[in-house]
């Protein structure tokens, strides 16, 4: 039975205002263990789930029909990581991020703190999905390692890869939970609750989309880390979809939709935090509302990702018409196929991307620059990069499409759903 634990908060003399320095009683929410729950879906919710699963599976089966599967997977992963970071207040444009990624590791690459944090999110997500295939185990250790990579090199690196050892909360003052919107379970319960989440993720009793939705909601309810909960919890969604074989090659950028529906996203998560027995009507209704919203977000993400794939294919066709005959599997051919997933490259990064020599990559880039597919940009003091402006525009429009409640391409900056402590 879910419950609240009443605790006493002792005032913090470091608070700037009287409200910050107050003492109070507060209630920390403790959810039921997932292993002890059974879940039933209403008919309309079951239909939403089935539609989402069909859409995700179709995206993965048919992805290679238009553009290179790896390229599509790469750019959608970046869209997902960018959106997940934006929910936490890390806002960065597509071109800025792609340039930062292309020049990462160069000796005089300019420092970009926001880009570095978002790239860390991408690295953490890439690492996670590489560890999990169909039927593989999702472990506590894996989630801790994802979190370690997420916060590595940031100002909160000391908290990376470890569960919190203090009470945290969402909303209100940074100094006390007295006016908090939500107070997660006490820290001493986190380890057991997270072990339960992973055990639940390794079952096959529920549809994969339902399992991903419930696991994400429980993770955010527990809020196991000092920081990075949202990004790690949204990475967990993709791990579950991978493990269940739904998103074996291409991940649906569902975080962009959840960011767009920020208020509804938070309200649905909050509504799933029932009090009392798991068999109650409140528990059933709240969980079904959240699963329905999550399922619809997945379906919408797939639809817009598919539209992006078609646009990228049209752009590649235009490129090939511009450049003329290109020998199959030549460096230029391989680079044309890879650019939709990496629209900003340097000569070394292009060589690594297509598995060819520096000289071959340099010659291919020169050929694509001459044809107007790529254009040179200067980064740092003496480094050159090359970008495909048409794909960058398509990627930007994908973000706008997914970030617009109406599904159009008008700029709609997602709101931050909940204030985060620290």
pLDDT: is 103 or 200 the higher one?
Answer: 200
Q: Which of 43, 28, 390, 397 is nearest to 223 (CA)?
A: 28
pLDDT of residue 206: 97
Strand partners, 376: 386
Which contiguous run of DSSP H or E holds residue 4? strand 3-9
For the chain, percent of residues with pLDDT exceeding 90: 55
Q: Encoding tokens for residue 376?
A: 């040179």
**Which of 40-54, 141-155, 264-278, 310-324 shows the highest mean pLDDT?**
40-54
> Is the confidence at residue 382, as pLDDT, over 60?
yes
Cα separation, 251 vs 237, in Å, equals 10
Mean pLDDT of 215-224: 97
Where b means 16+ CB within 10 Å and e means fewer, 284-322 reads bebbbbbbbbbbbbbbbbbbbbbebbebbbebbeebbee
| Nearest alpha-carbon partner for 78 in 411, 375, 391 | 391
| Average pLDDT score over residue span 194-210 | 97
Q: Is the pLDDT of residue 80 over 90?
A: no
Spatial CB neighbours of 316, under 8 Å, sequence gap ≥ 6 = 67, 336, 337, 339, 340
Q: What is the pLDDT of residue 107?
A: 58
DSSP, res 170: B
pLDDT score for 370: 95
Percent of the chain with pLDDT over 70: 88
CA-to-CA distance for 42 and 399, rounded, in angstroms? 32
Token couple for 130: 């590489």
Instruction: Over range 361-369, report the average pLDDT.
Output: 96
Q: Residue 134: exposed, middle, or buried by beta-carbon count in 10 A (0-12, 13-18, 19+)?
A: exposed
At residue 419 the predicted structure's pLDDT band, cuts being 50, 70 and 90, is: very low
Please report where in the chains the tokens 């529906």 appear, as a residue: 261
Q: Which own/partner pairs from 146-150 qualify as long-range (CB within 8 Å, at least 24 positions apart)?
A: 146/232, 146/235, 147/225, 147/228, 147/232, 149/120, 149/123, 149/124, 150/120, 150/121, 150/124, 150/228, 150/231, 150/232
Q: What is the DSSP letter of 418?
A: S
Is pLDDT above 90 for 420? no
- At residue 214, does pLDDT exceed 60? yes
Residues 350, 366: Cα–Cα separation, whole Å: 12
Q: Which of 297, 289, 253, 261 is nearest to 273 (CA)?
A: 289
**pLDDT-based confidence at residue 401 (cuts at 50, 70, 90):** low
The reported pTM is 0.85
Count of other CB atoms within 10 angstroms of residue 133: 11
Tokens read off for 66: 């238009």
pLDDT of residue 397: 81
101-115, 121-135, 317-331: which range is least confident on average? 101-115
CA distance 320 to 322: 5
Full set of structural domains in the chain with CATH: 3-305 (1.10.3290.10), 309-402 (1.10.10.10)
∠ Cα 303 206 297 (to 5°): 25
Mean pLDDT, to the nearest integer, of 150-165?
Answer: 92
Give the residue-averaged pLDDT of 40-52. 97
Residue 361 has pLDDT above 50, yes or no: yes
Mean of pLDDT over the chain: 86
Q: Look at strands 375-379 and 344-345 and give their pairing.
A: unpaired
CA-based torsion, 69, 291, 179, 225: positive or negative: negative
Question: What gap in Å lies between CA 346 and CA 43, rounded to an integer?
Answer: 52
Is the CB of residue 159 less than 8 Å from the CB of residue 227?
Answer: yes
Pick the more confident residue, 101 or 413. 101
Residue 342 has pLDDT above 70, yes or no: yes
Q: Which two tokens stand for residue 333?
A: 């051919």
pLDDT band with cut points at 50, 70 and 90 for residue 111: low
Residue 153, phi then psi, degrees to nearest 5: 80, 5
Closest to 162 (Cα-Cα) out of 152, 149, 150, 147:
147
* pLDDT band of 126, cuts 50, 70, 90: confident
């Amino acid at each position: 039975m879910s419950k609240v634990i009443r605790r006493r908060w002792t005032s913090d003399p470091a608070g700037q205002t009287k409200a910050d320095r107050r003492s109070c009683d507060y209630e920390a929410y403790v959810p039921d263990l997932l292993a002890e729950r059974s879940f039933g879906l209403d008919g309309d919710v079951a239909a939403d789930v089935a539609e989402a699963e069909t859409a995700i599976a179709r995206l993965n089966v048919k992805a290679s029909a238009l553009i290179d599967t790896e390229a599509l997977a790469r750019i959608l992963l970046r869209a997902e990581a960018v959106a997940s970071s934006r929910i936490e207040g890390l806002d960065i444009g597509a071109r800025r991020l792609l340039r930062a990624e292309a020049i990462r590791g160069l000796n005089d690459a300019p420092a970009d703190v926001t880009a570095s944090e978002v790239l860390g999110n991408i690295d953490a997500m890439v690492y996670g999905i590489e560890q999990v295939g169909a039927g593989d185990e999702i472990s506590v250790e894996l989630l801790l390692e994802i979190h370690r990579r997420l916060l590595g090199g940031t100002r909160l690196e000391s908290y990376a890869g470890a569960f919190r050892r203090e009470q945290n909360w969402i909303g209100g003052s940074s100094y006390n939970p007295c006016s908090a919107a939500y107070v997660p379970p006490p820290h001493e319960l986190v380890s057991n609750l997270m072990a339960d989440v992973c055990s639940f993720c390794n079952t096959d009793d529920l549809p994969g989309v339902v399992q991903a939705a419930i696991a994400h909601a429980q993770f955010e309810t527990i809020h196991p880390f000092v920081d990075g909960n949202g990004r790690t919890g949204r990475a967990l969604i993709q791990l579950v979809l991978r493990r269940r074989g739904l998103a074996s090659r291409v991940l649906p950028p569902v975080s962009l939709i959840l960011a767009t529906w920020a208020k509804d996203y938070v309200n649905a998560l909050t509504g799933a935090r029932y009090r009392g027995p798991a068999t109650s009507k409140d528990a059933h209704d709240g969980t079904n509302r959240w699963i329905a919203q999550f399922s619809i977000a997945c379906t919408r993400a797939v639809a817009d990702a598919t539209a992006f794939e078609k646009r990228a294919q049209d752009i590649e066709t235009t490129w090939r018409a511009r450049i003329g005959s290109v020998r199959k599997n030549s460096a230029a051919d391989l680079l044309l196929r890879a650019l939709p997933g990496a629209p900003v490259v340097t000569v070394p990064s292009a060589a690594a991307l297509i598995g060819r020599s520096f000289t071959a990559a340099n010659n291919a880039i020169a050929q694509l620059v001459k044809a107007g597919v790529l254009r040179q940009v200067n980064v740092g003091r003496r480094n050159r990069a090359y970008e495909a402006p048409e794909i960058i525009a398509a990627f930007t429009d994908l973000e706008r499409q997914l970030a617009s409640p109406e599904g159009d391409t008008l700029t709609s900056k997602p709101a931050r759903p909940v204030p985060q402590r620290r």
